[in-house]
Amino acid sequence: MKKQTWILIIVAVILLVVYFISRTGAPVKRVADYFVEIDSALVNKVEIHHDTVDVVLEKRGEGWWVTSPVEYPANPKFGEDLAGKVADLKIENLITEQAEKQDIFEVTDSAGITVTVHAAKQSPKTFIMGKVSENYRHTYMRMVDSDKIYLVKGVFKSYFTRRVKDWRDKTICEYEREDFRGFVLEYPGKSMELAIVDTGWVAKVGTEEFAANQSIVDRLVNMAHNIQAFDFADDLDTEKYDFTKPAFQLKATTSTDEFTLRLLPEDEEAKKYIVEKEGALTHFVIYESTAKALMKDFDEFRPVEDEDKSESPGIRK
């Protein structure tokens, strides 16, 4: 084969490689740096905008709050985690500086997730998070005032597009199991008290007292010590849901304070329950299974016949 032919073949191969790189977005420059130059300890506000989410989180004192579209304490884990994730975004490669390729990598205002990070003593930083790489280990990103598109280590889309309700703190109550000292379970027209006496629990229904079944009390405590909502009922129709006449009410006394929960079924099917907690900023929604774990039948607390009565406080009428 003639020398000139070989040269043409080599040139063609080089051109094909260049074409392949330009089409696939393969790295054109190796870099090693953090994508957002910011101190996570100074981050005090993060704005996230996308067609599926529009939320603002701000630090207030030691905690984080969702401040738009609602004002409510944020999940404490997510607040600090969010600031850390932004500060730890590490660049793998510079992909391209060609603005016309922003659509390909979904780093446009309309296709991407726009994130603005505020930090004390620093100017706000805004970037656009685009699509995930083909190996699902990286994400394409660019700063909003730059055409440079970077390949950043990690996949973050599901994190930054979480629903507003999932940024909020869904905790209804949270205590240590050992904190509980007493309960009052109330249904329309009847109630039962539970209290610790010495080392055991005693139940009282009307004038009757009996040693409570410890395993059932334990189940109640296990549920009551950490109740999480799965949704919120911010604009509740108080005419439809009258919490002066709850289907069930639970009063709990702990070593530090007291709390009261009132429950009403969301509808006739009662697959979900609305919860009112005294002093809370909103109403909560819980699943039927959570509600039923609190709504014990009084007879469940009676001791089983084969229990060792010598270890219980006994029955007193």
pLDDT, tens digit (0-9, with 9 covering 90-100), for 202-215: 999 999 999 999 99
Q: How buried is 73 (Cβ within 10 angstroms: 0-12 exposed, 13-18 middle, 19+ buried)?
A: middle
**Which residue is associated with the tokens 């009258």?**
242
pLDDT given for residue 179 in this prediction: 95
Section 67-89 average pLDDT:
91
Please report the sign of the dihedral spanned by the C-alpha atoms of residue 98, residue 104, residue 105, residue 111. Answer: positive
CA dist 240 and 264 (Å) reads 10
Q: pLDDT band for 105, please (50, 70, 90 cuts).
A: very high
The vertex-71 CA angle with 65 and 73, nearest 5°, equals 35
Q: Rounded to an integer, what is the distance from CA 218 to the centroid of its chain?
A: 27
Average pLDDT over residues 164-186: 96
Do residues 170 and 228 make contact, with C-beta atoms less than 8 angstroms apart? yes
Q: Which of the residue ranges 32-36, 71-75, 220-224 would you say has the lowest mean pLDDT?
A: 32-36
Closest CA to 150 of 100, 89, 92, 98: 92
Which domains, ranges and CATH numbers included, belong to the chain?
Answer: 28-167 (no CATH), 171-311 (2.60.40)
Residues 6 or more apart whose CB falls under 8 angstroms from that of 118 comprise 43, 44, 45, 46, 47, 124
Q: Are 54 and 70 a contacting pair, CB within 8 Å? A: no
